[in-house]
Amino acid sequence: MMKEQHGSLTPPIYQTSTFVFPNAEAGEARFAGEESGYIYTRLGNPTLAIFEEQMAALEGAEAGLAFGSGMGAVSAVIIGLVKSGDHLVCSEGMYGCTFGLISMLKEKFNVEFTLVDMTNLEKVKEAIRPETKLLYIETPINPTIRVVDLKAISSLAKEHNMTTVVDNTFLSPYLQRPIELGCDVVLHSATKYIGGHGDVIAGVVCGSKEYITDLKRTSLKDIGAVLSPFDAWLLIRGLKTLPIRMEQHSASALKVAEFLEMHEKVTAVYYPGLPSFAQYELAKEQMNGSGGVISFELAGGKKEAQEFINRLNMIQIAVSLGDAESLIQHPASMTHACIPKEERERMGIIDSLIRLSVGLEEVEEIINDLKQALEG
């Protein structure tokens, strides 16, 4: 492409909605799939294609497909794989809007779901029905940071002819590659670590060529959560620094988690890199690092959690994660507020739980800010 033409180091942004056909017959042939070539950006764009190829290579997948948001990717995948009367088994604990989506599918389209503690394989087996089509997994789960054994779950899914879908947002392919562990489809909110700079909303799905071709033809083309070429370019830029960012996020988060674990005001810390983490061995085997997200609990409830958050100076109060800046939020009243309280608490999202995305600042500064807010 342009690199060959002009030697441009970074790829060009094809900021175009449509592509001109040389003649009417070529237009007909492209629509019929008899001739390759771009048609219209919702159906494909060269800048998006570069990002998609990079993501597929990183995830060890045959193909990738970009979406205009993480939820665009989540909804396209789920809607594309189920029909009325089908059933999903999902990890107990998941991003609030994904829960919102499956609740809407149940209410309006008769797609049933069961939430199970996926750290217990027996419970997953018990939840499977003849009409179960897919296992939908987050690991580490947002925001409780429980880890699901992807090898064991994906081999169970194969026995039952089910598709395994993994939301890999929390770790990025640098730290976890579910397809290599036997899973079928991987998706991301690319808004987070893939972009890495808090300046883009995006999603991506990776899987087999056959699956991605079908997803593009159906869920992306007809539902239309398309990514803009400029945003694809920002993601390509983000990927250049993914390894060093993930190394730094993981190293800083471990120090922060160790500090929190030793503090008397902190009653629990959930971070896969801590030897005290319930699934430490599994996390070490399955992940190439623990990532930048820590959840922890303080004594008290919502009031105490909010007062603590309000005392922070440098760490910013914001949802999202994976940015250069450290971000803190209260899942029960923010990202997971749309889940009914009883369901939420069963998932472990209690009022005293706080989620921290450790950024790229000096780790001492992050720890000092937490310290003064805990002691204030």
Ligand X SMILES: Cc1ncc(COP(=O)(O)O)c(C=O)c1O
* Residues at the site binding ligand X, with contacts judged by CB under 6 A: 69-71, 74, 95, 97, 138, 142, 167, 169, 189, 191, 201, 203
Q: Which is nearer to ligand X, 29 or 318 (CB)?
A: 318
**Pick the catalytic residue: 30, 177, 192, 245?**
192
Q: Which is nearer to ligand X, 70 or 238 (CB)?
A: 70
**Pick the catalytic residue: 42, 221, 255, 302?**
42
Q: Which is nearer to ligand X, 189 or 252 (CB)?
A: 189
Active site residue 174: no
Active site residue 192: yes
Active site residue 129: no
Q: Name which of 94, 163, 177 is nearest 135 in CA terms.
A: 163
Active site residue 95: yes
- Give residue number: closest CB to ligand X: 70
Q: At its nearest, how many Å lie between ligand X and the CB of residue 7? A: 34
Q: Which is nearer to ligand X, 68 or 373 (CB)?
A: 68
Q: At its nearest, how many Å lie between ligand X and the CB of residue 148? A: 13
Q: Which is nearer to ligand X, 92 or 373 (CB)?
A: 92
Q: At its nearest, how many Å lie between ligand X and the CB of residue 281? A: 24
**Pick the catalytic residue: 14, 30, 86, 95?**
95
Q: Name which of 161, 117, 163 is nearest 136 in CA terms.
A: 163
Q: At its nearest, how many Å lie between ligand X and the CB of residue 21? A: 34
Q: At its nearest, how many Å lie between ligand X and the CB of residue 95? A: 4
Q: Which is nearer to ligand X, 142 or 164 (CB)?
A: 142
**Pick the catalytic residue: 167, 184, 323, 369?**
167
- DSSP collapsed to 3 states, the chain: CHHHHHCCCCCCCCCCCECCCCCHHHHHHHHCCCCCCCCEHHHCCHHHHHHHHHHHHHHCCCEEEEECCHHHHHHHHHHHHCCCCCEEEEECCCCHHHHHHHHHHHHHHCCEEEEECCCCHHHHHHHCCCCEEEEEEECCCCCCCCCCCHHHHHHHHHHCCCEEEEECCCCHHHHCCHHHHCCCEEEEECCCCCCCCCCCCCEEEEECHHHHHHHHHHHHHHHCCCCCHHHHHHHHHHHHCHHHHHHHHHHHHHHHHHHHHHCCCEEEEECCCCCCCCCHHHHHHHCCCCCCEEEEEECCCHHHHHHHHHHCCCCEECCCCCCCCCEEECHHHCCCCCCCHHHHHHCCCCCCEEEEECCCCCHHHHHHHHHHHHHC
Q: At its nearest, how many Å lie between ligand X and the CB of residue 78? A: 12
Q: Which residues are catalytic, by number?
A: 42, 95, 167, 192
